[in-house]
Amino acid sequence: MDTTQILLLAVLVFASYTAQAMTGFGSIVVALTLGSLFFEMRVILPVLVALNMPLCAWMLYRDFKSIDNNLLWKRILPLMGLGVVFGVLLFDVFEGPLLRRLFGIIIAAFSLRELAALIFQKNTATKPMHKFISAFWIFIAGLIHGIYASGGPPLVYALSRSALDRAVFRATLTMVWFVLNGALLAVYMINGSFGAKETWVFLYLLPTIPLALKAGAWLHERVSERWFRITLQLLLILSAGALLV
């Protein structure tokens, strides 16, 4: 990557990781959706996964006590972990334009659903999702995470009707990303996807992480999370549409 490309990616990383610092999810899915308009997924995905690790580590340092360990270790990680294995194995099946378009369809579908829920302020907390349906979506989250490292939308959907406290929800999701992205990063190192070139790009972009953490904290205190997420979903829908062209 040349200097201009690194600066562009730095802006995308700062914006997307600010979203995760504020809400607990969204960093890679936003960065990959927008970044795919300018870069090949295979080029930027390993770097985005690596950058997610220090972000999650700091958030866990602050919120570790809020993690729901029972939900994390007995339900989410076993199901998502199985899905990630299948996703990693399927990664090479989706090449070039097919990879972009399939990702665009997935993101558009979940973003439209989330946007509708936010705009019409739907509250489904009183209608718990059946445990088998929830398990299916958690597995799908792992499958998507294995291919795109972007399992946030289906996982959030699977947990959306649970009675989790906001702080518990955010801390538990952060631990999920820390564990699974750590495993993905190890895979990328083993298969050569994250080598010397990617390491240098990672180091160039690393200063954006503390900036994103500060910006996310600032936004969390001053901007309504509902309107922030509405804007975020609109941006994702537009970006997903561009991926389908």
| DSSP letter for each residue of 194-212 | S-HHHHHHHHHHTTHHHHH
Give just the sign of the alpha carbon dihedral 25, 45, 116, 130.
negative
Report the candidate in 26, 76, 59 with the shortest Cα–Cα distance to residue 171: 59
User: Which long-range contacts does 91-96 make (Cβ < 8 Å, 24+ apart)?
Assistant: 91/146, 91/147, 94/147
Mean pLDDT of 1-20: 88
Residue 198 has pLDDT above 60, yes or no: yes
Give pLDDT, residue 1. 76
| Residue 126 confidence class, pLDDT cut points 50, 70, 90 | very low
**How far, in whole angstroms, is CA 54 from its chain's centroid?**
14
**208, pLDDT greater than 90:** yes
| Rg of the chain (C-alpha set) | 17
> What pLDDT does 124 receive?
47
pLDDT of 125 above 60: no
Residue with tokens 């308009």: 37
Q: How far is CA 130 from CA 76, 140, 141, 161, 210, in A?
A: 15, 16, 17, 10, 39
- How buried is 14 (Cβ within 10 angstroms: 0-12 exposed, 13-18 middle, 19+ buried)? middle
Copy the structure tokens of residue 182: 């750590």
pLDDT one-digit tens code per residue, 229-241: 787 678 778 777 7
φ, ψ of residue 121 in degrees (nearest 5):
50, 50
What three-state secondary structure class fits 3?
A: helix
Q: How confident is the model at residue 95 (pLDDT cuts 50, 70, 90)?
A: low
Whole-number mean pLDDT of the chain? 84
Residues 6+ apart with CB under 8 A from 102: 94
Q: Using CA atoms, how far apart are residues 186 and 189, in angstroms rounded to an integer?
A: 5
Model confidence band, residue 94 (pLDDT cutoffs 50, 70, 90): low
Task: Give the residue-averaged pLDDT of 153-158.
Answer: 81
Joined tokens for residue 156: 């959030």
109, two tokens: 């579908």
> Cα angle at 107 between 104 and 110, to 5 degrees?
145
**DSSP assignment, residue 129?**
P
For 32-47, what is each residue's pLDDT tens digit? Answer: 888 888 888 888 999 9
